[in-house]
Amino acid sequence: MGEAKLGSVQIHRAIVLIAMMLLGVGALVLLLSSAGGQSLLALAVVVVLAAAGGIGFSWNRYFRR
Clarify whether residues 41 and 28 are in a common domain: no
Indicate the pTM of the whole model. Answer: 0.51
Tell me what the mean pLDDT of segment 13-17 comes to.
87
At residue 41, the pLDDT reads: 78
Tell me what the mean pLDDT of segment 36-55 comes to.
81
44 closest CA partner among 31, 26, 57? 31
At residue 1, the pLDDT reads: 56
Domain count, the chain: 2
C-alpha span between 24 and 14 (Å, rounded):
15
Identify the domain containing residue 43 by its residue range.
Answer: 36-65
Clarify whether residues 48 and 60 are in a common domain: yes
| Residues making up the chain, counted from first to last | 65
Q: Write out pLDDT tens, residues 16-27.
A: 889 988 988 888
Clarify whether residues 50 and 65 are in a common domain: yes
